[in-house]
């Protein structure tokens, strides 16, 4: 067998598995998530924690908006964890009916900020809610969370959606978020597996979260470490399709590149750390959820997968015999169908078509990110936020 055929076999095995994997869960996402029965009817107390690093442009409006939930105000606190904020920002925040906790670190991380806050907060909360400093909750968000906790879940991921689509990269980022929601959250819940956490718009049993966070020192990808620990303990993470949190999408190419580099670095780190353990738990304990999570971390990003398959198919038509052409077309077809199934109808418009023109640039940036992964999960990479405007759909 020629060297080129061996290389193609390896690529088909990897990229074919990746395409089939996401297609299966995208297809599963067509169907509704099986509903659990309510096992208790309790109004819990919530600590809505909003850590932020130099987020002076957005944090005041976010804090004000977080106070507008339709849930009883005496049953939830908004807690802003302020790292390196300006004095005038802090002065304005102190005037709001929130809890303000100031923190400062030589190396700032989300996990450090959350741990420091929980050291100072009382232990009488039932649920911890984690937001990013740019996140806007819909007014019924906590009420919907409470309904899920009444069904016996210990952790819930809300439906994070774009609040801005003002640039082509923001549109691509918004689409990417929804594709991941379909595959790694809704699709997984439909087949009975846990939803993936995103790091914001998520909620967890307060005491469990506080206890677990004490031993989490992650600089990047702390949500991935939480997932792995929970799934190892066979705890199920729910996904609330109709509980929306609006999140600012990246607007510039360099921000897109930095963000993806951080995510990729965290994924590869946790795959190498947990794959063998998860395989052992699958074989000895039948823990598919934990193993599936480790497998997710070796998946190529969707934009990179699509770009690679288009390039390979172009080269295949020129250089390959007919059987290889059909093989690569089948793999590409599964990937394209995944996107068709996963992208919400609201994105099928001229703005999206215009944004698609930036896909080659996005692919190139993702490829460059792979070359700069070393050390990305060992240093804090800040994504600056600039807008709180939620665009009408």
CATH number, domain with residue 204:
3.90.550.10
pTM of structure = 0.90
**205-211-214-218 Cα dihedral, nearest 10 degrees:** -50
Q: Residue 262: inside a domain, yes or no? A: no
- Do residue 147 and residue 291 come from a single domain? no
- The per-residue pLDDT for 376 is 53
pLDDT given at position 221: 76
Which of these ranges, 139-148, 226-235, 345-354, 355-364, has the smallest mean pLDDT? 355-364
Rounded (10°) CA dihedral 387, 388, 392, 393: 70
- b/e sequence 325-348, b meaning 16+ C-beta within 10 Å: eebbeebbebbeebbebbbeeebe
Query: Residue 386 — very low, low, confident or very high, per pLDDT cuts 50/70/90?
Result: low
The answer, yes or no, to whether residue 385 has pLDDT greater than 70, is no
Is residue 241 classed as helix, strand or coil in its secondary structure?
strand
% of the chain with per-residue pLDDT over 70:
90
Q: Is the pLDDT of residue 390 over 80?
A: no
Domain closes at, from 197, 227, 252: 252
The residue from 218, 252, 286 where one domain ends is 252
Residue 382 resides in a domain: no
Tally of domains in the chain: 2
Do 144 and 286 lie in one domain? The reply is no
The answer to whether position 354 is within a domain reads yes
**Domain presence at residue 214:** yes
Q: Do residues 141 and 158 make contact, with C-beta atoms less than 8 angstroms apart? A: yes
Q: What is the mean pLDDT of residues 66-92?
A: 97
Q: Give a yes or no: residue 380 inside a domain.
A: no
Asked whether residue 321 carries a pLDDT value surpassing 70, the answer given is: yes
Q: Please indicate, yes or no, whether residues 299 and 243 belong to a single structural domain of this protein.
A: no
Residue with tokens 């290389």: 7
Angle at 105 between CA 99 and CA 111, to 5 degrees: 65
Query: In the structure, what pLDDT confidence band is assigned to residue 375 with cuts at 50, 70 and 90?
Result: low
Name which of 260-274, 276-290, 353-367 the model is least confident about: 260-274
Among 111-115, 117-121, 243-247, 254-258, which stretch is predicted with the lowest mean pLDDT? 254-258
* β-pair partners for 205: 127
Q: Which of 223, 252, 281 is the last residue of a domain?
A: 252
Do residue 220 and residue 289 come from a single domain? no
Q: Could you tell me if 58 and 196 lie in one domain?
A: yes
Q: What is the pLDDT of residue 94?
A: 97
> 3-state DSSP helix/strand/coil percent for the chain, to nearest 5?
55, 15, 35
Note whether 356 and 274 are same-domain residues.
Answer: yes
Residues 292 and 349 in one domain: yes
| pLDDT higher than 50, residue 33 | yes
From residue 177, alpha-carbon distances to 112, 162, 389 in Å are 26, 8, 18
Average pLDDT, the chain: 90
Per the CB < 8 A criterion, the answer to whether 262 and 382 are in contact is: no
Same domain, 188 and 211: yes
Co-location of 189 and 236 in the same domain: yes
pLDDT at position 141 is 98
Residue 380 has pLDDT above 60, yes or no: no
Checking if the pLDDT of 392 tops 50, the result is no
For residue range 82-133, list pLDDT tens digits in order: 999 999 999 999 999 999 999 998 888 899 999 999 999 999 999 999 999 9
Q: Please tell me the distance from the alpha carbon of residue 201 to that of residue 120, in angstroms, as a whole number.
A: 22
List the domain range (segments joined by +) for residue 59: 46-252
The confidence score (pLDDT) of residue 374 equals 61
Give whole-number Cα distances, 207 to 7, 80, 118, 132, 154, in Å. Answer: 50, 19, 10, 21, 10
Per-residue CA distances from 237 to 155, 158, 196, 233, 255 (Å): 5, 11, 7, 12, 29
* Domain membership flag for residue 389: no
By the 8 A CB rule, do 59 and 85 touch? yes
My answer on whether 54 and 200 are in the same domain is yes
> What distance in Å separates the CA atoms of residue 296 and residue 283, rounded to the nearest whole number?
18
Do the domain assignments include residue 375?
A: no
In a domain, 36, yes or no: no
Contact between 210 and 114 under an 8 Å Cβ cutoff? The reply is no
- Do residue 130 and residue 176 come from a single domain? yes
Task: Let me know whether 108 and 151 are in one domain.
Answer: yes
């Amino acid at each position: 067998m020629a060297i080129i055929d061996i290389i193609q076999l390896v690529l088909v095995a990897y990229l074919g598995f990746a395409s089939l994997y996401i297609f299966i869960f995208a297809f599963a996402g067509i169907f509704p998530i099986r509903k659990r029965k309510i096992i208790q009817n309790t109004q819990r107390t919530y600590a809505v924690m909003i850590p932020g690093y130099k987020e002076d442009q957005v944090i005041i409006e976010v804090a004000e908006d977080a106070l507008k939930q339709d849930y009883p105000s005496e049953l939830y606190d908004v807690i802003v964890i302020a790292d390196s904020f300006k004095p005038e920002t802090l002065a304005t925040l102190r005037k709001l009916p929130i809890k303000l906790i100031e923190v400062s670190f030589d190396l700032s991380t989300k996990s450090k900020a959350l741990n420091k806050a929980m050291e100072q907060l009382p232990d009488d909360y039932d649920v911890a809610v984690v937001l990013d400093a740019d996140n806007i909750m819909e007014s019924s968000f906590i009420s919907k969370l409470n309904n899920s906790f009444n069904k016996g879940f210990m952790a819930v991921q809300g439906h994070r959606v774009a609040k801005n689509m003002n640039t082509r990269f923001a549109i691509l980022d918004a689409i990417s978020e929804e594709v991941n929601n379909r595959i790694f959250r809704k699709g997984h819940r439909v087949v009975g597996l846990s939803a993936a956490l995103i790091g914001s718009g998520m909620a967890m049993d307060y005491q469990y979260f506080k206890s677990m966070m004490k031993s989490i020192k992650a600089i990047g990808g702390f949500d991935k470490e939480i997932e792995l620990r929970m799934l190892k303990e066979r705890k199920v993470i729910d996904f609330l399709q109709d509980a929306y949190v609006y999140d600012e999408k990246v607007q510039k190419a360099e921000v897109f590149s930095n963000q993806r580099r951080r995510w990729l670095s965290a994924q590869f780190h946790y795959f190498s750390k947990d794959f063998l353990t998860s395989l052992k738990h699958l074989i000895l304990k039948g823990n598919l959820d934990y193993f599936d999570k480790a497998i997710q971390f070796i998946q190529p990003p969707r934009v990179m997968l699509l770009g690679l398959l288009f390039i390979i198919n172009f080269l295949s038509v020129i250089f390959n015999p007919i059987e290889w052409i059909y093989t690569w077309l089948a793999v590409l077809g599964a990937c394209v169908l995944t996107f068709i199934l996963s992208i919400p109808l609201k994105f099928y418009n001229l703005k999206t078509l215009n944004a698609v023109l930036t896909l080659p640039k996005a692919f190139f940036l993702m490829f460059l990110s792979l070359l700069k992964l070393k050390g990305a999960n060992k240093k804090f990479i800040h994504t600056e936020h600039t807008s709180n405007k939620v665009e009408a759909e």
